């Protein structure tokens, strides 16, 4: 039987014709279309000169560590609990004596104003508004006190690099304590600089130099250069050294002789939580627990130091099994989706740190871009938990996740060196 046809009714057409008011702000228009952190990365790449973008996006040597870290999160299988409705999702966690509205915080990242002029101010403000911790790096481009003023009632954490001039390091510890920062990362994975070849190829320096190459690169990114040239000079808030490459800076400032004695001294100075960042083996995790630290971060520095380093997400189950009841365990590197955060929590992580993702948001749209990144990841976390049948983070367990082994060692025991 042929379908009966009729002329369209005007009333029905009115219901179908829903026109949105056009968004005139090009940055907001792009952010509104972003559905994933990778979308924010694409916007960031279009808006940011190659040197700063590649500094954020890249890693050491052949970037094997970074690729493996991201692959590790993809090489999982979620196992949902059926007929367990999770109509109200609670994403909050207790971490290091305080609360966080989401099970992740913003990791410490250097040179944030290099990526976009709002820099750490945007990160701290967005973290405070979302109710999650913000971490400031020794290599930050705003001061400890400025972060406190932007995020006065939120949780601020400080990442310490031990410098050759120990008094400078001690001064930073004292300032962070005076400003009410509640947690300090003692960073152990940067005795010397990793070989970040993208930076070398780009001639990346701090601050960026105007050369024929950078000027050509700047033509489609005029807004970035306008902001860079019309805002306060880019400099380190905690260091006096500027100029040259990142490797130059690390070589001039950091001390490769950092030792357990330095940790002991800082521990005695610091009144709050002390967390050792850069743990890459089970043995070192155990050593730090024996040393009495409040927490550890399983991290290979985002793949930016030793290429082919251990994968933090792979290390997580072993560390949780051996020391999980004795210290706070955090993990970073390769986190690009809220589902990654859920997987880490399910396998026993107490908290997750997100680095590149918030910088992609920053480069994509300043403070609004960081807000968008947190919104995206929060939505992904809630959706993943709901589909797993978990109403709270505490309900996540290893039963929800299977890790597939793309890489497996040839021998279970380490060879003995002769």
Name the stretches of the chain with pLDDT < 70. 1, 206-212, 214-215, 218, 234, 236-247, 251, 411-418
* Phi-psi label, residue 372: left if phi above 0, alpha if psi -120 to 50, beta otherwise: alpha
**169 Cβ contact partners less than 8 Å away, ≥ 6 residues apart:** 160, 161, 162, 163, 266
In sequence order, the β-bridge partners of residue 95 are 98
pLDDT at 339: 98
pLDDT at 240: 60
The residues that are catalytic are 301
> Considering the entire predicted model, what is its pTM?
0.91
Is residue 312 within 8 A of residue 331, CB to CB? The reply is yes
What is the CATH number assigned to the segment(s) 29-403? Answer: 3.20.20.70
Q: Where are the domains of the chain?
A: 29-403
- Measure Cα distances from 334 to 34, 65, 154 in Å: 19, 9, 26
Scanning the structure block, which residue is given the tokens 């955060």?
341
In three-state secondary structure terms, 36 is: coil
* Residue 251 CB neighbour total at 10 angstroms: 14
């Amino acid at each position: 039987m042929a379908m009966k046809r009729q002329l369209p009714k005007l009333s029905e057409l009115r219901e179908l014709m829903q026109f949105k008011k056009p968004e005139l702000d090009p940055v907001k228009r792009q952010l509104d279309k972003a559905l994933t952190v990778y979308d924010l990365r694409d916007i960031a790449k279009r808006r940011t000169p190659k040197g700063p973008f590649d500094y954020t996006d890249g890693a050491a040597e052949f970037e094997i560590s970074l690729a493996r870290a991201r692959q590790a999160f993809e090489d999982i299988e979620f196992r949902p609990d059926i007929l367990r409705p999770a109509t109200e999702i609670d994403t909050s966690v207790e971490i290091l004596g305080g609360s966080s509205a989401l099970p992740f915080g913003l990791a410490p990242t250097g040179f944030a104003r290099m990526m976009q002029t709002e820099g750490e101010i945007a990160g701290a403000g967005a973290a405070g508004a979302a109710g999650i911790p913000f971490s400031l790096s020794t290599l930050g481009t705003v001061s400890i006190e400025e972060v406190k003023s932007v995020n006065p009632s939120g949780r601020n954490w400080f990442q310490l690099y031990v410098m050759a001039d120990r008094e400078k390091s001690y001064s930073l510890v004292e300032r962070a304590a005076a400003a009410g920062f509640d947690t300090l990362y003692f960073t152990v994975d940067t005795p010397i600089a990793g070989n970040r070849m993208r930076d070398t190829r780009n001639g990346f320096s701090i601050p960026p130099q105007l050369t024929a190459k950078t000027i050509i690169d700047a033509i489609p990114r005029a807004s970035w250069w306008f902001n860079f040239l019309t805002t306060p000079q880019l400099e380190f808030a905690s260091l006096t050294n500027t100029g040259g490459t990142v490797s130059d800076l690390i070589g001039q400032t950091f001390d490769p002789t950092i030792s357990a004695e330095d940790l002991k001294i800082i521990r005695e100075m610091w009144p709050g939580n002390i967390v050792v960042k850069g743990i890459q083996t089970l043995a070192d995790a155990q050593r730090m627990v024996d040393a009495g630290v409040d927490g550890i971060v399983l991290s290979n520095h985002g793949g930016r130091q030793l290429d082919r380093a251990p994968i933090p997400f792979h290390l997580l189950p072993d560390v949780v099994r051996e020391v999980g009841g004795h210290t706070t365990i955090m993990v970073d590197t390769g986190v690009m989706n809220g589902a990654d955060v859920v997987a880490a929590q399910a396998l026993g992580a107490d908290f997750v740190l997100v680095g590149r993702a918030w910088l992609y948001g920053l480069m994509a749209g300043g403070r609004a871009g960081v807000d968008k990144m947190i919104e995206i990841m929060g939505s992904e976390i809630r959706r993943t938990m709901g589909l797993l049948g978990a109403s709270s983070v505490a309900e996540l367990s290893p039963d929800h996740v299977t890790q597939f082994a793309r890489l497996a060692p040839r021998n279970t025991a380490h060879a003995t060196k002769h």
